[in-house]
Structure 1
Amino acid sequence: MAQLRDGFQSRLGFVLAAAGAAVGLGNIWGFPTQAANHGGGAFLLVYFIVIFLLALPALYTELYLGHSAQANPVVALKKACAEQSAKMGAAAGYIGLSGAIVMLSFYSIVAGWMIAYSIEPIATFFGWQALAEFLNSDTMLRNFIFTPVILFFTALIILQGVKSGIETWSRRLMPMLLVLLVGLIVYIGTLEGAMAGFSAYLVPDFSQIRDPDLIIAAMGQAFFSLSLGVGCMMIYGSYLKPNENLPKLALSVALLDTSVAFLAGLLIIPAIFVAQQQGVEVFQDGKLIGEGRLIFAVLPELFATMGKIGLLVGFCFFVLMSIASITSTISSTEIPVAFLVENHQVSRSKATWLVTLVIFACSSLIILNFEWLFGLVIQLFTQYQLPLMGLFYFITVGWLWRRGNQLREVTSGFHYWFAQYVRFVCPVLMTAVFLNVAFG
């Protein structure tokens, strides 16, 4: 069925789609918080270094597995591990596929919040106070309304396939995200207190660069910000034409993703200092308050102090967050859909709606048991599955996969030394990340 597979029709479409998969809430939400809590400019400098030491090789490894197999992650890992244990490879593929479902089950809830918060300024502008209060409320009803909304939008894109759906919408959404991001940076930069934020973000405190906590935090953020360890990049890599220049494309994706993370810091950290200038509490015990409160309390408080223009700024900000959310839900949803289509000959339409229903069922379970289950699911996914799967990909390419693995066949030059780096250094770095995030 390989010849019948849909695929990306242009390099730009792939780069935008893959960067869209990587550019999620972790970039615009998590990265600035990590930077603010780990020395600002010092964290930024270390982050840029480890992107190329760990995240870029991990990105290339995941893309390479999918691109070589021209198949979904279950088949790709089964083929790569065939000489050692095809069952082990397939099992890893199923774990990744299950992880995509788990990720979507909580990510869709959060993405629904973003849509609700983007509608709230409109309701406030027209004086619909009851609706505005409901949209800002943390209720089960709101979750059960907006979680299906994000799942429905995602399904509509997936139904159209790779070329007409994922690639086309990535070409629309990613430029829109960049325009909104730059526009908000420009506006926030004009407000009192913003310059202190720019300084804290861009000027490194070199005394903190050797801090082990900062280094490990930067390594973890670099890995997670590229959406690695789930199989998103593997499935997107499989949709590339066989003769594509994979190293160049991987570098392009990493650069675009890193640029968005950098721009997000230029927006969020100055906004934090502007909010502090307005009397909003943003730090506790020298650390930025929790990420949830930052997005859903601190920034809305800041927007409220701006009057009517604050409604527009708040609307643009949460539309930006909604776009970042949906570009990630698209890539994760494609993993189980592709598996059903390719391994079980289910039509794309049936596969899409079946996967959507399964995700909604899992999301509903979390919503009904939100207090204890939401945080637990996120913790298990981010602290255990992602780094362990990333480590497994390195081991697969470096040690298990032999026949047809070009990285194992080269004997000299840059590719040889890169292969050795992937085999020996990257697993050690990835293990360090796992031990830190899992056991503190």
Structure 2
Amino acid sequence: MSSTSSEPCLALVDCNNFYVSCERVFRPDLAQVPVAVLSNNDGCVIARSEEVKQLGVMMGTPYFQCGPELRRAGAVVFSSNYPLYGDLSQRVMKTLEALCPRVERYSIDEAFVEIPGSEQAERETFSQQLQAQVLRDTGIPVSIGLATTKVLAKLANRQAKRLREAAGIWSMPEDLETRQQQLSATPLTDVWGIGRRWARRLENEGWQNAAELAAADPAMIRLVANVVLQRIALELRGDSCLSLEEISSPPRSLVRSRSFGQPLYQLTELRPALGRYLQRGWEHLRRHHLRASGIQVFLHTSRFHREIRYFGSRQAVIEPTDDLWELQRYAFALLEQAYRSGVGYTRCGVMLFGLEPDQPSWKVCKAWQQRADLQQAISGLQQRWGRDVIQLAHTLTATKGLPLQQHRSPRYTTQWSELAIVGKKIFF
């Protein structure tokens, strides 16, 4: 029996085992094979196929611990291939934006969307068409959870993945009694926005599951916890407090950092690596028309090193700028201040903070205008041909600072030299 609702229907569209699904797009032979994806430097497991989950391998398990078991099971292991994942994510989002009235990109593999239709059957039919179109356009399978609020849509998506009979699409019951029965079987840790610490605190106050939290007095929740949890409780009731954000607010800061494939000891080795991360941050500034009024550089040793542990950090407040060479000058000066000789560093990074919308600079002399034109040309080339088409020369020497990627698949969609080759064998 279909139900009718005048309230707008939201849905969370979530790509299934996203990194694994990206690898399988170009390797259909791995459809039923256990597949795992590793973090930077091939450190730990960050994505698992259903077959790997059935082996009992948990998220975050160090590869040196689970590697033997994965090999015995015939699993295929991949290093992180973020260019591929980012490009396929863009393709998924563009398909959603072409079909849905409103879309909020929530993460690399999730989006909240508005689903048209006044009846549940109509909305589920649209969801099936949406699911099929994403798979047809990108090769990525998705699960869709439908509800009247974001928090309920998150829970509905969890059910869409858990229940085999749901076929990847599940609607939160609109009937209050039926929904309360569903929420009574939902632990607080399964609710979006509630972590273990807050779950323990809420349980100590007498709220043991999502249904009890939804039935609680909102004023009491705010008194015991905060306004965020109060809104979560209201969303569990079906009262929308978190609207779709089609245009995300600009960030106040950004961080670009990576672990090294091997310890680095010399400033001459650290500068190219830091320069690479800074250029990535600068690309973000240019893409979103922002400038930074502060910069921080940090570097540290391995936290597993028993004898030498060091964390160095320096920061500076600067005149707001998006000039790459100006930012580089500050970054290298801060690096020299934070650096300590004789130490093997395993990670460094840069944070740009105090971000604000770009404004025309008062520096209108010929040299500054030439530099601005050069940066505009660089941004244009990168936008058309990819971020690696042009880089500062010293960043190309950062080979020692590159992360370890012994199992990386080709960058099929972003690198001309790694395009998939489709051919046909001819036998005579």
TM-score when normalising by structure 2: 0.23
Whose helix proportion is higher, 1 or 2? 1
Whose strand proportion is higher, 1 or 2? 2
Larger RCO of the pair (alpha carbons < 8 Å, separation 6+)? 1
Q: Which has the larger radius of gyration?
A: 2
TM-score when normalising by structure 1: 0.23
